[in-house]
Each structure stands twice: as structure tokens, then as C-alpha cells.
A and B are shown apart, each in its own frame.
Chain A
Amino acid sequence: MSLQEHETRHIKNTLKRKLTKTELQILAAEWSEHCSYKSSKKHLRMLPTTGPKVINEKGYDSGVLDVGDGYVVTVHIESHNHPSAVEPFGGAATGVGGVIRDILSAGTRPIAIFDGLRFGDIKNDSHAKWLFKNAVTGIADYGNCLGIPTIGGEVEFDKCYKNYALVDVAAVGFGRKEKLIKNHARTGDLVVLIGGSTGRDGIGGSQFASDSLESEDRSAVQIPDPFIEKLIIEAILEARNEKCINAMKDLGGGGLSCAISETAESLGIGIELDVDNVHTREPGLFPDEVIISESQERMLVITNKKKIKKLKKICDKFRIKHSVIGHVKNDKMMHVKKGKRTLALLPVDFVACAPLLDRKKSRPKYLQKIKTTKKTKDISNYSKTILELLSCPNISSKHWVFHQYDHEVGIRTVVKPGFDASVLRLDNGKFLSVKIDGNPKHCYLNPRDGAIGCFEEACRNVVCTGATPIGMVDHLQFGSPEDPEIFWTFMESLEGLTEFAKFLKIPCVGGKVSFYNETPLGPIKPTPLIGVLGIINKTPLHPTPPKSGDYMVIIGNTKNELGGSEYFEYIHNFIGGICPTVDFKNSKSNMSSVLLLIKQGLIRSVHDCSKGGLSIALSEVSIFGNIGCIIDITKVPSEKTLDSEKLLFSETHSRYLLTVSLENINKVKEILSKNKNSFGVLGQFTSDQIIVKYKTKLLIKINVDKAQRKYFNTLKEILDNG
């Protein structure tokens, strides 16, 4: 039980009576950081959440975007970090299940899953390996069984996640606008619990997630059952078509206590329920356990007495359990009974609105100690360094991961995982491009610029497929908010994201805050994760291989920004330097020029420059295209003259690497000059070697097949060795 002193005082002052045991359990669950956002809620309001495409309805757990022609896309992001760190298979699987139900509860069919996974040093830490392998299997097992394609995400390894795991799952839904559930309820309506039976798993899960991970409390981790979830999806969508659902909410953190209080509060109603009516997995569950259990695969549905028959019939068809647990009242009270006995009687707004906190913040002391420059030894063999970077687990191909996920089911996946953003076709002939990105190495050095950078990177990736960004979701993951220094990093990230979202006019349509991500070695690095959705009206740009003679063109200035780069951290084991900063104006202008070139059909493909800098971006184009290149990096545009180390490895944002045919190169140059974008024609694709020169000096010479072997085999080799 984790009610704090000021909360106990608030209860006493407001209700002026002693609470029952059940009431205390309900409040402890609902007022946990996980459910109540008590540290962050005040500040999250700064994010822009409206726009011409955003549909806001009460009680939605996911963001809804209008994509035209009567269709909507829904999106949500969540994490399951604490559970995955203890029991990676079940933790990751139930993480998928939870976010899928958020999509479902708006009345849309889930059509894609994305996951962001972060673990400790995979090369040397066998525990990190175990966590990673099992989390991937957990996601694969769950998503594949549901028949929802997992089509993208990212994987990163960093020592700051030692003995810990970040498992972030984003899901996208699609449906007809007129079929969205318009949550409403009338007095006398019935409250129905549909799906898995309630058991003792996940008791106190949300409180477990709101503390530092000190004990491995496996009973707080929920047990996954994707088969039941699949039946629920089909049953709920059929019930939606039959108009049997007045209001709906999924059961997640805090179980029934949260679902009931939040639904009642958002609809301005009261709900009375009897715990004896809840179908349970085992006899002898205590009422308090029934109320706060986080057993999975459950949905709360409000229907009326006329529609209940049809709803039951649908549930029976799919053989999923359901019970009418209570009814709607007009007193705005949450009334929990066992038979005739009242166990809890609390005002719903009191339960759903925890007293918010004003956390202190102060600039972390570690930031003063970070060195901004590093004298690295002159690189004698650039080829060797590039090959090392290509086999860095953070850069090498994640084929081992995404080929365990069914990324084809649903027959929407137009651009498959493994490139920049993945692209899905929609029923109105448009395409949806989605990418999630994080970068704790940058965010550690500068939480504000780092967070903006993640946002920009996700935008860049969807732009590379020809999509215009229309919405974003954020997932803000930090250590304990009670530490003012950590809270400062949270506020910096949030303010940065807000500033950039307002500048680009991209609404934030959903998000989540996860605090208390602490490992035995201390807090994790600030890890905001940003998901961006983009729309393509006509044709997406496929990652098409370059042809011999095609030109390689870079858009965007390169700056002296090696801080937090894979080059500094992986090659030199140095944490420091100057974190890349997004120049808002250039960012926007580069994005619109790339989109224009794609629209006019002037470029064969485009790849974004990110981890590993230009050296890795150009290697990747050669690796995927199975073709070599000869380039001169003195052609790379930069504001000041930079040495080859910075030109090759700096992770400056807003840069794109284009493949342009001989036929179009002059038109491309013309448009970029007219739009005043910095750009440079670096060289041409040819033969089977990656050759990089600085004027006449040869820096890099690598056979493409050698680069391919390093890039594609490393992760599998690391995992096969134990």
C-alpha cells in the first residue's frame, strides 16, 4: 500500500471519516503515480493536443485522427517496464495486450504494433541477453497470435539499463468514423465485465510500477493469454457493429477500481457494483483482490437492458465469459458491495482525481561534470572503425528481432520493417507511415535538445517514405520524480517537445509518463520515446536500391555534434561532447523540400542520417542496395570547416541522404537551391566497394559484402553465443 502522508491528510480533510479497507485499496491503486499522473499531470497540459484532424471524445484511452473519407486512425503508446524487468516474457506480452485494448475501446480494429526495447549491455551481460530474448518472444507470441502485425520499432542497448528493461509498445487502430464508440450512459444502464476471469495475478501492479524496483515481485506481473484477447477483439467489434455498446473501457493498471472510477468520472455518473458478480479464476478471492487485480484481457462495457441480450449472445458465440457486475446510478458515487454489505462508497471525482503534486526541480550536478570536448586519437584506419560501428548492437540489423514478428498479417504492410518508417495501406487509398524513436544518449547530455531530436528523427523517418506528419505520441520515461534533478530532466524534455510540436503544428494525441525507472545502479538515462504518424495521399516512396551511376546527395548541414554519438560511446567509451541541436527553421524547410522532391518523383529513395552519422547512413544505403559508392566528404555542407571525424560520425539532425538518377540530378539541385536548403552532391553509386575520400586522400574502402556480413550477422551471433 503506498498512500502518502499528504494523501492520507487529504482524505481525512475531504471525507471526514475513516476509510474502509477496500476504500484504502481503491485509493492506493488509483492514486499511484502510474494511474494518477500526480507528478506530471499539471505539466502535460502544456502539450498542444488539438488540431483540425484530432477527434476528441470523452473517455478515450487512445488518440483519434481523422484521415479523411470517413475513416479514422487511433494510436496509443504504453510501457511495461517493471514487469518486463522481472518476468520479460509475460511482462512484454501483457504490455502488448494492454495497449491493444486501448485501441479497441475507441471502437477501432488494431492494425499494427510497434515496440521500443531497451536493455543493458547485450554483448557482455548475460542477464541483459536473457531479458532481451524473452521480451522479444513475449511480444512475438502475443502479437502473432492476435493477427496484428508488429511492423516496426527500435532496439537499443545501454549500460544504464543494467538489470532492467524498457518495453514500450505503441499500437495503431483503424476504423470508420461513424463506428467510433461515443461513450455515454444513462441511469439504470448495466455495467458488464467481459473477458478473462479475475484472479490473483497482477495484484498491486500499478503500485509496483510506481516504486523503485527493489524486490522481484513476480505475483505483481500479469499472465498473458492472447487467445482470449483475440476473441475479445472479435466479440467487441461485432458488438460495436450491432450497436450494443454505450460506453467502454479496458481494464489496465489498477484493475476494476480504476476502470470504474475513471469511466464514472468521465461520464459524470455513479456506478454500483457487487464483487460477488465478478467471474473469478479461483474461489475464495477477497473482495479487495477482486477490485484491484490486474488480470488481463478484460473489458468493461456499459450497455442497456434492451441490448444486453444481444451482447450476451455475441459473447456466447465466442465463448468468452461475461458478467453483469453492476449498474449506472446518477449519484456520481462509486459503490462497491458484497451482497448487501457496502465495502466502499466514494465520490468518483474524488477517486479519479488524485491530489496533484508540485515536484521540485533543479539542474542536475552531473551535467556540470560532463566534458564537452574529447581529444580522440587520430583514426588511422577509418574502414576498421566503420566496420566496428556496423557491428555495434545499436546499429546492426535487427532482423533477428522483427523476423520473429508476423509483420505481413492483415495484408496492409506496404513498406516492411527494417528501413526507415513502416508504411500501411488504408481502405481509403491513402497510406499511413509510422515510426518511433528515442535516444537516451543524447537525452542524458541534454534532455531538452535530446527529446526534440527524438521527435525530429521520427518525423524524418516518416518523411523519408513521403508522408506528412499529422500527429505524435510521447512516452516519457525517467527515474524517480521525487529527485528534483530527475524531475528537472523530465520538465526539460517535456518543454522541448512542446516547443517543437507547436512549431511544426503537430498535435500530441496520446502519451504516457513512466517514472521510477530505477535500476540497482541508479536511475536510467532520461528516455523519452516519440512516435510520429504521417499520411501519404498517393504513393509511398519505397526504399528502392540505387542504380549504378545514381548520385548520392545530402540535404542539411553537418555540425560539430559528436556528443552522445555511437562513435563516442561505442568506439571511444566516452560519454560527453555536444549533443545535437535541432534548428527548427532548417528542420521544417528540409522536411518540406524532401516531401516536394518525393511528390515530384525526382528521387529514387531517401534515407535519414541518424545513429553513427553520415558514415553509417551511406553504408546502409550501399548495404541494402547491394551496390558500392565513391564519395568525397569535402562536399558535405557545414557551417564551419570540419575534420573528417566530425563529417563522418557527427549525429546532426535534419539530414537526409538522397539517391538521385542522372536524369533528375539537375532538377533536384535546382529545387534545393531555390528553396535555400544546404546540400551537397557527394558522389555516385557504382561497383561493389564503399569508397570515401577527403579530397584526394582515401579514407574508407570496404567491400559491400563484408559490410553486409557485419551488419546482418552481428546481433544473431551475439545471441547465439549464450
Chain B
Amino acid sequence: MHVINFIPHISTISVKVGVIVFPGSNCDRDMYHVLTDVFNLSAQYIWHEKRLPKNIDAVVLPGGFSYGDRLRAGVIAAHSPIISDVKKLAKKGIPILGVCNGFQILVESGLLPGVLLKNDSLNFMCEWINLIVKNNTTPFTNKLELNQKIPIPIANGEGRYFVDEHMAKKLKKKNQIVFSYENYVNGSMEKIAGVCNEDGNVVGMMPHPERATEKEINPNDNKPSTLIFESLIQSIGAKN
């Protein structure tokens, strides 16, 4: 596929990103393509029964239908052997991103607060929407402006974010709301589209940044989405 012109600020090829593959993951290959072909990172697939390499710089849980969404989206995958490794890395402050089903898995495994319920339309929804950046201090948003718009597609049946009121207050206080929808989309509380943990290194989002970084497939503006990945590179570069 075509590759957009991206000028790396650091030697990106040395950045190692693990893409976890669960049975039923189906955006793993898309994410891998974007990480490697578009941003020139060293991505590797890691099967859910394997261990995460110790020297990994970041971890992505891609979208899909792990275990066919049985019981509840993400709940079975949250019990995969690899999740205990993810938890360890999360504690260490390694950047971890869950997209769509990956977000659902992070929520189900307790790494992120809240739950994801069926959309209020009761239908699967595949649409291009606008995100608003609410926290630009995470490793995935540090190159974005606060309140910057990101045109990006969603594709899910269970994407309605919910927490109780007490928790909602806490999320706001601790700046854990990372993205919200510009307009009403699916009944999400506070129009929340993405959150992070208290430390800010674990981020989950329902929309698909890997589907929006290339001009060829983005009917709107692809630049804001590329900043999500450039943020990651910057935050890893800054640490190195």
C-alpha cells in the first residue's frame, strides 16, 4: 500500500511496539501496517498466549471481535495469559493503547475505569465523526492541541461509555477523559470516546486512529490522526 510522507524526529525504527493478537482480533493487521509502513516503527504481532518481550516500548490492543464478543465484548480476552504482562507494563508506565475492542478489553481487565454498553441505536454503527481532544498530556495526545478536532471513523456495536456519577466526577478531576465526541453519537456519558488511567499511560478509545492516518482512505483531514502516533514517538523519544 501507499505510504504517506512522514519525517521521523528520532530513529523510529528502534521503537518496538507490540500488537497483541487475540482470537478474533481483526484490526491487528491494519494497526501493524500503520505502525510499520506509515510511521516506520518496529511493530511485532504477539499472540495472546505468549509473553510480552521485556524491552518493548509500547503496546497496542487492536480492534476486532475477540472471542466473537461472546458473553460481553472484551470480557474473555481480559482473562488471556498476556493480560498479566500488560498489567505489569502498565504499572511501569509503558504507553498502552486500546482501540475499540482493545479499549473494551482494557476496561474489562480493570486497567481502565467504566464499561462499554450497547449503542443506544441498538445497532452497529460505522460512521466518520469528530473527536475533541480533552487531555493532551498522555503519550498518545501530547502533540495535539487541547480541544483539537480529529475526524476519525467509529465502528462498533458496544461503544456507549458509562460510569457512575461518583466515578464520572473523579474522571474529570483527575483529567482522565482523553477524547469526547463533538456531537451526540451513541449515548455515551458526557460524550466520552476515550479515557486513560490515573497515570495517563494507558489510553483506551473507541474510534480507529489506524483508519484515519492515511490521506488515501481519509475523506477529511488525516493530519490530526497522525499526531496520535507522532505523540507516541515523541513520548518514547523523550524518554530515551
Q: How far is the CB of A352 from chain B (nearest CB, A)?
A: 35
Contact B1 A147 (CB under 8 A): no
- Spot the interface stretch: B23-31, B51-59, B173-181: B23-31
Residues of A within 8 A of B (CB-CB), count: 33
Partner of A140, one of B1, B24, B124: B124
A408-B1 contact given A145-B68, A230-B65, CB 8 Å threshold: no
Asked whether B160 is an interface residue with its Cβ less than 8 Å from the other chain, the reply is no
Residues of B within 8 A of A231 (CB): 23-24
Partner of B211, one of A226, A402, A408: A408
Asked whether A362 is an interface residue with its Cβ less than 8 Å from the other chain, the reply is no
Per the bound structure, the CA–CA distance linking A408 and B219 in Å amounts to 12
Contact B123 A411 (CB under 8 A): no
Q: How far is the CB of A524 from chain B (nearest CB, A)?
A: 29
With CB as the reference atom, state the residue of chain B lying closest to A427: B1
Contact A147 B123 (CB under 8 A): no
Contact A408 B208 (CB under 8 A): yes
Contact A403 B126 (CB under 8 A): yes
Asked whether A412 is an interface residue with its Cβ less than 8 Å from the other chain, the reply is yes
With CB as the reference atom, state the residue of chain A lying closest to B208: A408
Contact B124 A319 (CB under 8 A): no
Asked whether B67 is an interface residue with its Cβ less than 8 Å from the other chain, the reply is yes
Q: How far is the CB of B2 from chain A (nearest CB, A)?
A: 7
Task: Give me 6 other A-B pairs in contact (C-beta within 8 A), A147-B65, A416-B219 excluded.
Answer: A141-B124, A145-B69, A227-B23, A230-B65, A411-B33, A413-B217
Residues in A133-171 with C-beta less than 8 Å from chain B? 137, 140-141, 144-147
Asked whether A283 is an interface residue with its Cβ less than 8 Å from the other chain, the reply is no
Residues of A within 8 A of B153 (CB): 408
With CB as the reference atom, state the residue of chain B lying closest to A109: B29
Residues of A within 8 A of B34 (CB): 411
Per the bound structure, the CA–CA distance linking A274 and B125 in Å amounts to 46
Contact A414 B126 (CB under 8 A): no
Partner of B26, one of A230, A412, A413, A427: A230
With CB as the reference atom, state the residue of chain A lying closest to B26: A147
Contact B155 A408 (CB under 8 A): yes
Q: How far is the CB of A226 from chain B (nearest CB, A)?
A: 6
Q: Closest 5 A-B residue pairs measured CB to CB?
A: A147-B26, A227-B68, A145-B65, A406-B155, A411-B30
Per the bound structure, the CA–CA distance linking A416 and B217 in Å amounts to 9
Per the bound structure, the CA–CA distance linking A480 and B50 in Å amounts to 56
Contact A425 B123 (CB under 8 A): no
Contact A317 B47 (CB under 8 A): yes
With CB as the reference atom, state the residue of chain A lying closest to B47: A317
Contact B216 A414 (CB under 8 A): yes
A408-B126 contact given A146-B26, A425-B217, CB 8 Å threshold: yes
With CB as the reference atom, state the residue of chain B lying closest to A410: B30
Asked whether B70 is an interface residue with its Cβ less than 8 Å from the other chain, the reply is yes
Per the bound structure, the CA–CA distance linking A141 and B68 in Å amounts to 10
Residues of B within 8 A of A140 (CB): 123-124
Q: Is the interface of A mostly helix, strand, loop or mixed?
A: loop
A406-B124 contact given A231-B24, A414-B217, CB 8 Å threshold: yes
Residues of A within 8 A of B1 (CB): 411-412, 425, 427
Contact with B along A383-412 (1 / 0, CB 8 A): 000000000000000000011111111111
Per the bound structure, the CA–CA distance linking A317 and B45 in Å amounts to 15
Asked whether A318 is an interface residue with its Cβ less than 8 Å from the other chain, the reply is yes
Contact with B along A190-230 (1 / 0, CB 8 A): 00000000000000000000000000000000000111001
Asked whether A429 is an interface residue with its Cβ less than 8 Å from the other chain, the reply is yes
Residues in B113-129 with C-beta less than 8 Å from chain A? 123-127
With CB as the reference atom, state the residue of chain B lying closest to A416: B219
Partner of B24, one of A227, A403, A416: A227
Per the bound structure, the CA–CA distance linking A225 and B24 in Å amounts to 12
Residues of B within 8 A of A230 (CB): 23-24, 26, 65, 68
Asked whether B230 is an interface residue with its Cβ less than 8 Å from the other chain, the reply is no
Partner of A429, one of B2, B63, B67, B217: B2
Asked whether B108 is an interface residue with its Cβ less than 8 Å from the other chain, the reply is no
Contact B123 A404 (CB under 8 A): yes
Q: How far is the CB of A360 from chain B (nearest CB, A)?
A: 48
Residues of B within 8 A of A410 (CB): 29-30
Residues of A within 8 A of B65 (CB): 144-145, 147, 226-227, 230
Contact B214 A147 (CB under 8 A): no
Listed by A's residue number, 26 A-B pairs whose Cβ atoms lie within 8 Å are A140-B123, A140-B124, A141-B124, A145-B24, A145-B68, A147-B65, A226-B68, A227-B67, A227-B68, A318-B23, A403-B126, A404-B126, A406-B155, A408-B155, A408-B217, A409-B63, A409-B211, A411-B1, A411-B33, A411-B217, A414-B216, A414-B217, A416-B219, A425-B2, A425-B217, A427-B1
With CB as the reference atom, state the residue of chain B lying closest to A411: B30
Per the bound structure, the CA–CA distance linking A318 and B23 in Å amounts to 7
B63, B69, B217 — which one has the most chain A CB atoms within 10 A of its CB?
B217
Residues of B within 8 A of A425 (CB): 1-2, 216-217
Residues of A within 8 A of B124 (CB): 140-141, 144, 404-406
Contact A227 B70 (CB under 8 A): yes
Q: How far is the CB of B179 from chain A (nearest CB, A)?
A: 18
Per the bound structure, the CA–CA distance linking A140 and B69 in Å amounts to 14
Partner of A409, one of B127, B155, B214: B155
Residues of B within 8 A of A429 (CB): 2
Asked whether B64 is an interface residue with its Cβ less than 8 Å from the other chain, the reply is yes
A403-B47 contact given A144-B65, A147-B27, A230-B26, CB 8 Å threshold: no
A403-B125 contact given A147-B26, A408-B155, A427-B1, CB 8 Å threshold: yes
Per the bound structure, the CA–CA distance linking A406 and B211 in Å amounts to 12
Q: How far is the CB of B182 from chain A (nearest CB, A)?
A: 18
With CB as the reference atom, state the residue of chain A lying closest to B214: A411
With CB as the reference atom, state the residue of chain B lying closest to A318: B23
Contact B26 A409 (CB under 8 A): yes
Residues of B within 8 A of A407 (CB): 126
Per the bound structure, the CA–CA distance linking A410 and B208 in Å amounts to 12
Residues in A293-347 with C-beta less than 8 Å from chain B? 317-319
Per the bound structure, the CA–CA distance linking A410 and B27 in Å amounts to 7
Residues in B129-166 with C-beta less than 8 Å from chain A? 153, 155, 157
Per the bound structure, the CA–CA distance linking A404 and B210 in Å amounts to 20
Per the bound structure, the CA–CA distance linking A410 and B126 in Å amounts to 13
Q: How far is the CB of B25 from chain A (nearest CB, A)?
A: 8
Contact B214 A406 (CB under 8 A): no
Contact A147 B23 (CB under 8 A): no
Residues in B17-44 with C-beta less than 8 Å from chain A? 23-24, 26-27, 29-30, 33-34
Per the bound structure, the CA–CA distance linking A454 and B128 in Å amounts to 31
With CB as the reference atom, state the residue of chain B lying closest to A317: B47
Per the bound structure, the CA–CA distance linking A403 and B129 in Å amounts to 13
Contact with B along A231-275 (1 / 0, CB 8 A): 100000000000000000000000000000000000000000000
Residues of A within 8 A of B30 (CB): 409-411
Per the bound structure, the CA–CA distance linking A146 and B64 in Å amounts to 8
With CB as the reference atom, state the residue of chain B lying closest to A417: B126
Q: How far is the CB of B38 from chain A (nearest CB, A)?
A: 10
Residues of B within 8 A of A319 (CB): 23
Per the bound structure, the CA–CA distance linking A511 and B62 in Å amounts to 36
Per the bound structure, the CA–CA distance linking A2 and B217 in Å amounts to 51
Residues of B within 8 A of A408 (CB): 126, 153, 155, 208, 211, 217
Residues of B within 8 A of A412 (CB): 1, 217
Contact B23 A409 (CB under 8 A): no
With CB as the reference atom, state the residue of chain A lying closest to B62: A147
Residues of B within 8 A of A145 (CB): 24, 26, 65, 68-69
Residues of B within 8 A of A144 (CB): 65, 124, 155, 157
Residues in B214-237 with C-beta less than 8 Å from chain A? 214, 216-217, 219
With CB as the reference atom, state the residue of chain B lying closest to A399: B127
Per the bound structure, the CA–CA distance linking A145 and B63 in Å amounts to 10
Per the bound structure, the CA–CA distance linking A140 and B67 in Å amounts to 17
Per the bound structure, the CA–CA distance linking A405 and B65 in Å amounts to 14
Residues of B within 8 A of A318 (CB): 23
Q: How far is the CB of B133 from chain A (nearest CB, A)?
A: 21
Q: How far is the CB of A421 from chain B (nearest CB, A)?
A: 16
With CB as the reference atom, state the residue of chain A lying closest to B154: A408
Q: How far is the CB of B229 from chain A (nearest CB, A)?
A: 14
